[in-house]
Structure 1
Amino acid sequence: MIYKDHEVVIHHCIDVNVPGYLILSPIRHVTAYQDLTQTEIMTIAIILQKVVGILQQISEVEKVYILNLAEETSHFHFHVFPRYSWMIDTLNAELFSDGKLDGAKLFSYYRRENKVDNLQDLSSLDQTIAFIRKRLK
């Protein structure tokens, strides 16, 4: 866990080795955005703004994607996914649609390609997690 208050929790995605790939969820169980309270919405918005700003301070982060897909779990959450310069492989057709970089495809590709089976494989993320945690205090 990186951050927790009365409304939200942030943790690093535990099965994908992409530094700074975060999951932001409300504490209260809800299944859809429209089920959030005004307070939860405001807290999420403020924390998202802070977290995106922090991620953009990391070397080589060019952009930060914020997604809600809700295909694998019924608890509402946002994926906060940093796009690093090393991710742009112009020779990889899987990342492009109509000759343009496709953020959704990039997200899916790197989630699949950087999946880990063992949490020990994530030990290299400790420095990034500490960087984010320190700036969120």
Structure 2
Amino acid sequence: MQKLFPDEKVFETNFFTIHQDWEIPIPAFFIIAPKRIIRTIDEFTNEEALEYIFLIRVLRKGMKDVLNIRDVYFFQNEDTKHNFHLWVFPRFDWMEKFGRKIESVRPIMNYAAQNMTGKEHVDEVKNSAIKMREYFDNVKNILPK
């Protein structure tokens, strides 16, 4: 699959990056990934673990307050070839026709990949990443040191 958004990094710390999913054109479909290559959450150091939960909380608050995203799904699987990462998958009204269960996510992603690659959708995705970068610029001083 083509990388539509290879440069849409939202935030970076010493341990993690948050970026827009590279392939699926869904605004605010963010991925939190450690810089260190690990497979499972139990491999985090204590310092990484503290920062990880803090980043999840701050990201989620920004998604709610800045992007008006009411609901998200969190996915982390350990049997992936892409090392440890967390998907933060937003729910939008247009997704309702697919249902609200975990089984709805793959059809939603397929639909977006096939039907939402036009300039308008791509710009919407990029704008959500820009808004979240600005949000993190304003809150980065509250991150644990």
State TM-score, norm by structure 2.
0.77
Give me the whole-angstrom Cα distance separating, in 2, the residues matched to 1:68 and 1:81. Answer: 11
For 1:73, the equivalent position in structure 2 comes to 81
**Residues 15-45 of structure 1: CA deviation (Å, up to 9, x unaligned):** 0011000010111110111111111111110
Partner of 1:130: 130
**Fraction of identical pairs, as percent:** 15
Structure 1 contact 56–64 (Cα < 8 Å) conserved: no
Deviation at 1:13, TM superposition (A): 0.1
- Pairing 1:54–2:54 present: no
Judging by fraction of residues, say which structure has more helix. 2
Q: Gapped runs of 5+ residues in structure 1? A: 96-100
Give secondary structure in 2 for the equivalent of 1:115.
helix
1:84 aligns with 2:84: no
Shift of 1:71: 4.4
- Aligned partners of 1:24, 1:113: CA distance in 2, in Å? 23
One-letter amino acid matched to 1:80: V
State whether structure 2 residue 113 is matched by structure 1 residue 115: yes
The 2-side partners of 1:80 and 1:71 are apart by 18
In the alignment, residue 87 of structure 1 is paired with which amino acid?
A: M
Which residue number corresponds to residue 106 of structure 1? 104
Using the alignment, how far apart are the partners of 1:35 and 1:132 within structure 2? 28
Q: Give 1:134's aligned amino acid.
A: E
Q: Are the aligned partners of 1:66 and 1:79 in contact in 2 as well (CA < 8 Å)?
A: yes
What is the TM-score when the length of structure 1 is the normalising length?
0.81
Say if 2:17 is the partner of 1:9: yes
1:21 is aligned to: 29
